[in-house]
């Protein structure tokens, strides 16, 4: 009989322009499926916490959430064992409860599954932190309930995360590092393109403070590199797809520096458009949230691995990840504008080679089957010790 696993997610709860976020959950689910496991997705949704819309009422928003959930599950083949709980209720309850009880564990991504009755169904519960540095600050600096308690094993995409009570608060949790996974078949190699691009929420969540330092979003980091298109002497252009409105002052400033600024809304609303945007890009150039850089957590982007899988070289601001992930062939880290330009120039000198190396890196390190297997191995070690 195949092993079973349930992946806690947020898909129906992100019905607006959130394809990139959906893949955070779907790539993990795909990884376990490739191991031969039966996989279910689990989501909790509350009517009082539905996403806000200026044009839709609550009932209309709920229908949009349900449509998104059903559409994603159907497209990627996870409908058989999955459940969306709305205020504690779901369809086909008994079927899901049986699957949950037979599962080896719940992968609780970002602690999204909070219902104690649901959590009690699982033999083991594994927590996956997607926001290293922020999660610890929210928990210890601001008293936020990050739902850390009650899990058996803890993973983080912070490859160099260290709780030292200086850069990162001490929670007492042993975090096991994990690469962000990617399903290679969903992102076929496609060489070429003229624009170095990225897709981003410009501000994301609010900045926080810890030990006298500010842990912010991408806005301040992008500003440090605003002169990149003017300084770069090659033929390629630089494009950012973001959630900035057309008349936003920041957008106007970047346009004046020769950035190609486009809206991310249509791109992030549809899988094929999202994939085509990456496929038509030359590579990814991107900064990171300053909080990831400040904490030196080793955070690495789940979006960047999609670029790499498609054979798109990437030039990414360092958070400490370069200590773990090989750089210099297909993937480069940078901390300054000069370093970023030097990296892009190196790639352009032999683009085909770096395109091949980018895809190879995705196959070697980020293949969702390998990443999922690493988690299973860590869990088995834990179970033996217990």
Q: Report how many domains make up the chain.
A: 2
Phi then psi for 153, rounded to 5 degrees? Answer: -145, 145
CATH number, domain of 97, equals 3.40.50
Helix and strand counts by DSSP (H, E) for the chain: 14, 15
197 and 322 in one domain?
yes
pLDDT of residue 166: 94
235 and 90 in one domain?
no
pLDDT of residue 52: 79
Neighbouring C-beta atoms of residue 344, cutoff 10 Å:
23
DSSP 42-61: EEEE-GGGPPP-SS--HHHH
20 and 80 in one domain?
yes
225 and 158 in one domain?
no
61 vs 15: CA distance, rounded Å: 8
159 and 241 in one domain?
no
238 and 210 in one domain?
yes
19 and 110 in one domain?
yes
Helix H segments across the chain?
A: 19-34, 58-76, 93-102, 116-119, 134-141, 219-224, 228-231, 249-255, 271-279, 290-295, 304-309, 337-349, 351-361, 368-385
209 and 135 in one domain?
no
What does the CA dihedral 288, 199, 46, 70 come to, rounded to 10 degrees? -140
Closest by Cα among 201, 200, 204, 198 to 216: 204
pLDDT in tens, the chain (386 residues): 689 999 999 999 998 888 999 999 999 999 999 999 999 999 999 999 888 777 888 889 999 999 999 999 999 999 999 999 999 999 999 999 999 999 999 999 999 999 999 999 999 999 999 999 999 999 999 999 999 999 999 999 999 999 999 999 999 999 999 999 999 999 999 988 999 999 999 988 899 999 999 999 999 999 999 999 999 999 999 999 999 999 999 999 999 999 999 999 999 999 999 999 999 999 999 999 999 999 999 999 999 999 999 999 999 999 999 999 999 999 999 999 999 999 999 999 999 999 999 999 999 999 999 999 999 999 999 999 88
What's the longest Cα–Cα distance across the chain? 63
361 and 372 in one domain?
no
pLDDT of residue 16: 85
Distance between start and end Cα atoms, the chain: 24
pLDDT of residue 70: 96
Q: What is the pTM of this model?
A: 0.97
pLDDT of residue 15: 87
The domain of 212 spans: 184-366
pLDDT of residue 58: 84
171 and 154 in one domain?
yes
Find out whether 221 and 287 touch, Cβ atoms under 8 Å.
yes
**Region for 20 from its dihedrals, namely left if φ exceeds 0, alpha if ψ lies in -120 to 50, beta otherwise:** alpha
Indicate the burial class of 141 (C-beta count within 10 angstroms; 0-12, 13-18, 19 or more).
Answer: middle
372 and 321 in one domain?
no
pLDDT of residue 191: 80
CATH number, domain of 225, equals 3.40.50.2000
CA angle (255 as vertex; 251, 259 as ends), nearest 5: 110
Q: Which single residue is written with the structure tokens 């549809």?
A: 270
Indicate the burial class of 337 (C-beta count within 10 angstroms; 0-12, 13-18, 19 or more).
Answer: middle
331 and 214 in one domain?
yes
pLDDT of residue 1: 66
Reduced DSSP (H G I as helix, E B as strand, rest coil) percent helix, strand, coil of the chain, to 5 = 40, 20, 40
């Amino acid at each position: 009989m195949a092993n079973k696993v349930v992946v806690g997610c947020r898909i129906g709860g992100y019905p607006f322009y959130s394809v990139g976020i959906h893949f955070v959950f779907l790539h993990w689910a795909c990884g376990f499926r490739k191991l031969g496991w039966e996989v279910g997705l689990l989501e909790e949704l509350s009517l009082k916490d539905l996403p806000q819309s200026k044009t839709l009422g609550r009932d209309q928003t709920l229908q949009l959430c349900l449509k998104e959930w059903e559409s994603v599950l159907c497209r990627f083949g996870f409908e058989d064992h999955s459940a969306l709980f709305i205020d504690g209720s779901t369809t086909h309850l008994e079927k899901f409860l049986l699957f949950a009880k037979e599962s080896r564990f719940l992968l609780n991504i970002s602690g999204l599954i909070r219902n104690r009755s649901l959590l009690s169904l699982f033999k083991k519960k594994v927590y996956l932190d997607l926001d290293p540095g922020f999660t610890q600050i929210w928990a210890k600096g601001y008293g936020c309930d990050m739902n850390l308690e009650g899990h058996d094993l803890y993973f983080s995409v912070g490859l160099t995360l260290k709780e030292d009570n200086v850069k990162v608060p001490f929670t007492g949790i042993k975090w096991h590092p994990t690469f962000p996974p990617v399903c290679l078949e969903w992102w076929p190699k496609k060489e070429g393109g003229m624009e170095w691009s990225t897709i981003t929420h410009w501000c994301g969540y609010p900045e926080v403070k810890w030990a006298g330092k500010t842990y912010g979003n991408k806005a301040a980091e992008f500003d440090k590199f605003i002169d990149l298109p003017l300084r770069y002497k090659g033929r390629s252009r630089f494009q950012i797809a973001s959630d900035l409105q057309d008349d936003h002052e920041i957008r106007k400033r970047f346009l004046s520096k020769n950035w190609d600024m486009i809206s991310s809304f249509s791109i992030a609303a549809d899988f094929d458009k999202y994939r085509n945007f990456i496929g038509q890009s030359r590579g990814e150039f991107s900064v990171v949230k300053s909080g990831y850089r400040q904490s030196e957590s080793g955070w690495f982007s789940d979006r960047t691995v999609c670029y790499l899988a498609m054979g798109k070289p990437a030039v990414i601001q360092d958070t400490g990840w370069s200590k773990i992930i090989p750089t210099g062939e297909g993937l480069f880290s940078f901390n300054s504008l000069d370093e970023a330009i030097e990296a892009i120039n190196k790639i352009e000198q032999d683009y085909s080679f770096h395109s091949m190396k980018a895809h190879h890196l995705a196959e070697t390190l980020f293949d969702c089957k390998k990443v999922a297997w690493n988690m299973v191995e860590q869990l088995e070690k834990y179970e033996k010790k217990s």
